[in-house]
Amino acid sequence: MSDTNHPYVPGWQGERGWTAPGEQPSGFLSFEAGDLGAPFRIEHGRDMMYDHGELQQDYNFIDYLFGDPAKPVHARHYLGDPHVSVDLPGLRAGATLAQARAAFPDDILRYLQRRFDTVKVLTGEGYRELWAAA
Q: Are 69 and 90 in contact (CB under 8 A)?
A: no
What is the structure's pLDDT at 24? 58
User: Does the pLDDT of residue 29 top 70, yes or no?
Assistant: no
What is the structure's pLDDT at 128? 96
User: Does the pLDDT of residue 93 top 80, yes or no?
Assistant: yes
Between 18-22, 87-91, 120-124, 129-133, the lowest mean confidence (pLDDT) is in 18-22
At 63, the pLDDT band (50, 70, 90 cuts) reads very high
Q: What are the Cα distances from residue 106, in Å, to 24, 61, 100, 112?
A: 29, 24, 12, 10
